[in-house]
Structure 1
Amino acid sequence: MQVRIFGREPAVWVYTINTLVALLVAYGLPLTQLQVATISTMSTAVLAAIVAILTRPFVVSALTGAVGTTLTAVAGFGLELSEAQIGATVTALNVVLALVLRMNVSPAASAPPYHPGNHTGRDLTGL
């Protein structure tokens, strides 16, 4: 199953946001180069988070990576977070997700025993 947001792939939305920002800057929106790069990074990170949330099976590292990227990118608008603050936030998110997801995850049944040397699936005891 392919993840779509309002009927479009996430990459289309990232391109659309970047194009709109470039258009607005061309018509006089006073954004610095750092702020434009920050908007691009944040839009990519937010859409990556949405895709991570919608994807099954859920991949915790995809969501926490997107959140970490977003927290780093907001520095372009003046919110300075230290590496320790970003790390603590991502760690807290991991703990919350582990608590929430653990209720919905159960261990898989154990695999059948593996017998070295018999890779054909046939009974070779009579040979």
Structure 2
Amino acid sequence: MTSNFKILGRDPSIILYALQSILAALVAFGVLGLTEHAAAILLTITSGVFALITAAVTRPWQVSLFTGAVKTILTGLVAFGLPVSEVQMGAIISALTIVLGLLLYGNVEPKDTAITNP
């Protein structure tokens, strides 16, 4: 099963994981000006939302959903369970997103859609 469904000419899972990593880096550098608690909420929610979107646009969706669930749980643990600063939280979540994104990339492919499958 090959598909032509792309976001910005790339595999949608890579784009979504890259956006999550960039967001975590922005939090780490304090660019967004969020409090530590607000940053934790933002990163955890976006992690879950991006996981659902990734599962919706890739196949097999179970792999994407499981990887996304692990990422969201670990993001929540780092954000709310560990005594780390906002900078450390952003760096850990950014690294976690990159590692899980690389693990996911080789195991899924973009979903066939009506647009890509005439």
Q: TM-score, normalised by structure 2?
A: 0.37
- Higher relative contact order (Cα pairs below 8 Å, separated by 6+ residues): 2
Higher helix proportion, which one? 2
TM-score of the aligned structures, taking structure 1 as reference length: 0.35
Structure showing greater radius of gyration is 1
